[in-house]
Structure 1
Amino acid sequence: MAETVAIITPCYRAERWIGAAVRSVLAQSWPDWEHWIVADDGADYEAMLAAEGLRDPRLRFVSSGAIGGGASRARNVALDALTASYAAILDADDRFKPDKLAQAVAALGHHGIVSVALDEYDETGRQLRLVGQGPDRELSPAVYKWTSLSMDSMILWDRRRTDARYDLELTNMTDLELLLQLYRSARASWHLGTPLHDYLKLSVSMSNGPGVTEKMIRSKREMLRRLETGFYPMADARGPEGMAAFLRISLRAEETYDDAVAAQPALLFEDHLEPMLRAHPPPA
């Protein structure tokens, strides 16, 4: 019997992007999915998508019960309700490549967590860069962020092997925090080096825009504090040290990013961070 993948999409003022996200799910070569669309703004996304001709019995429409309660809270609403074995995250402004689910489901047959390489775009549709491209391979938590150095909402996981809920205390980096929890039960993850997820880097979002840098720094410092105090025991005992090492480098990158952009306008944070990671490989 084929496994069903539950895809979770929190929606807050997502009218501009949600149609493309849903079309990317409808275009999947793997047919056994259910797409949980969680309204966090009181909008009727079922009617909105129907007006675009997007109807499918596999689409599930629920409400977070709040207005602007946050993506983490909205995702947890779906995670508490769904029964599928496999879970995947799709932000309302991102898209899946057509074979993402098929390739990820095959990998979930042997690993509890799967990540994929990213194809990054800006809101005009201009490709910015690839992240994590290369051979398919196993990644321990100690080295994971040296490959997947950008966002982490492109992961899928087997809820029977490892599961977690989003932390409502953090304002940013919540996908990485979820991954830290998942690694408590999963010794390693499998990385698909083919870009199978389109990540849209908006000028204003949880990851970009005015005031975001300060929020990112606070969240990174809190996760680092937790790692250093044993809050995240992992199946691979080296995992916390490696994740902590990444966060220290990432915090140094945050501190120097403004000066780097002043010298090189339009510099992506990933392009600023990546050479710093190469200069400081993960702990052996």
Structure 2
Amino acid sequence: MKNPLISIITPAYKAENTIKRAVSSVIHQDFMDWEMIIISDDYQNYSQILKEDHIVDERLQFISTNKFGSGSSNARNKGLEVARGQYMATLDADDEFKPQKLSKMIPLVERYGAAISDIEIRDHDSDLLLEKFNKLPNYEFLSPKDLPWVSLHSSSIYLYDATKIPNLYYDTDFPRMQDFVFLMSFFNDIECIGFEHEPLHIYYKRKGSACNSADTHETFHKSRNKLLEKINNGQISIQNNLAKAECIKIINFISETDNIYDMEILKNPQTDWLEIFKTKIQDRDFLGYVNFLRNEV
């Protein structure tokens, strides 16, 4: 059987209520040469769940971590191990692709070796559009200096050519930021990442999800320390020196956010660390900052 051009990796953990939406968004792509690998991380039979909703497609593949809640990084690695495509993409089981996601990203991947797109952030319950985070000028590509500041969520919505970026897997030591480390590792093999300004990925925000839970502050803090430790010990998958330098800037940025959070939490116990982080990015002279970085020697 001919290998597909694109492999889409989808970890599934307690995803019975959302997997139909995610899979349907892939089936309705205007580009059809793909396989979707759904990795059960909770012993659920997602093939049967989809069949009950009359979703059956020979391009859907089902595997399992044979664990319960081993984490998205481990599940994605299992998917990468069996993927047959030249291009790799991820889609979380509670998000969705817009119909032209793949067809619009492919030319950028052909040109640069990898690409990401802007996203829409919608409310999980109401489907209300909450925000579009990207504020970059109309650049077609991103360097290591640009990438960390594009979006809090763009790190996991890539498409890349595995023949140009080979043998890359997720570091399972990070409670958070594993997507960021994975994406920054692209610069080991390519100079720039293509960027599509049209929102082609819908991220659904819901209370209690991994990206919005009350322990966000603690997990970012642990990830920051782990990232610094691995950089200092030479144990990080990121080998590009410029990308490493940007990681240090992110570490410092998280530390600054921690300091603000520690003060604000005394005034308001309901303070949201992630909202402070986002506001801190948005309040800076963002466009001027990015242009400065691009021109910096």
Secondary structure (helix, strand or coil) at the match of 2:212 reads coil
Question: Would you say the 8 A contact 1:149–1:274 is kept in 2?
Answer: no
Q: Distance in 2 between matches of 1:215 and 1:254?
A: 12
**Structure-to-structure mapping, 1:11-160, within 5 angstroms:** 11-124=12-125, 125-132=127-134, 135-160=138-163
**Could you tell me whether the CA contact under 8 Å between 2:95 and 2:203 is conserved in 1?**
yes
Q: Distance in 2 between matches of 1:113 and 1:251?
A: 30
Residues 73-114 of structure 1, C-alpha deviations (whole Å, 9 max, x = no match): 111111011121100010111111111100111111111221
Larger CA deviation: 123-132 vs 190-199: 123-132
Alignment check: 8 A CA contact 1:249 1:276 kept:
no
Which residue of 2 is the match for residue 226 of structure 1? 230
Distance 1:47 1:275, change over 3 A: same
Distance 2:238 2:216 in 1: 29
Please, what TM-score do these two structures have when normalized by structure 1? 0.89
Partner of 2:257: 253
TM-score scaled by length of structure 2: 0.86
Structure in which a larger fraction of residues adopt helix: 2
Q: How far does residue 184 in structure 1 lie from its aligned partner after superposition?
A: 1.3
Contact kept? 2:39, 2:62, Cα under 8 Å: yes
Cα drift, residue 228 of structure 1: 5.2
Deviates more, 1:50-59 or 1:253-262: 253-262
3-state DSSP class of the match of 1:271?
helix
Q: Provide the secondary structure at the position in 1 that maps to 2:132.
A: strand
User: Is the 8 Å Cα contact of residues 3 and 85 (structure 2) preserved in structure 1?
Assistant: no
Query: 1:275 deviation in Å?
Result: 1.9
Asked whether the equivalents of residues 261 and 271 of structure 2 are also in contact (C-alpha less than 8 Å), the reply is no
Do the aligned residues in 2 keep the contact of 1:146 with 1:277 (CA within 8 Å)? no
Q: Which amino acid aligns with 2:82?
A: A
Residue 141 of structure 1 contacts residue 243 of structure 1 at CA under 8 Å; is this kept in 2? no
Q: 1:217 aligns with which of 213, 218, 221?
A: 221
Give the direction of change, closer, same or farther, for the CA distance of 1:212–1:146 in structure 2 (3 Å limit): closer
> For residues 283 and 232 of structure 2, what CA distance do their matches in structure 1 show?
25
Residue 109 to residue 3, structure 1, CA distance change in 2 (3 Å)? farther
Deviates more, 1:192-201 or 1:225-234: 225-234
Q: Is this contact kept in 2: 1:7–1:36, CA < 8 A?
A: yes
CA–CA separation in structure 2 for the residues paired with 1:36 and 1:46: 11
Alignment of 1:270 onto 2:278? yes
Say what the alpha-carbon RMSD is for the aligned residues.
Answer: 2.7
Change (3 A) 1:135 1:253: same
Deviates further, 220-229 or 162-171? 220-229
The alignment partner of 2:164 has SS state of coil
Mapped to 2, the partners of 1:178 and 1:127 lie a distance apart of 28
Corresponding residue of 2:10: 9
* AA aligned opposite 1:173: M
Following superposition, the deviation at residue 179 of structure 1 comes to 1.2
Partner AA of 1:132 in structure 2: N
After superposition, the Cα gap between the structure-2 partners of 1:49 and 1:232, relative to the gap in structure 1 and judged at 3 Å, is: closer
Q: How many residues align?
A: 283
Q: Can you give the 5+ residue segments of structure 1 that lack an aligned partner in the other structure?
A: none
Is 1:206 the counterpart of 2:210? The answer is yes
Preserved contact between residue 10 and residue 91 of structure 1 (Cα < 8 Å): yes
Q: CA deviation at 1:132?
A: 2.0
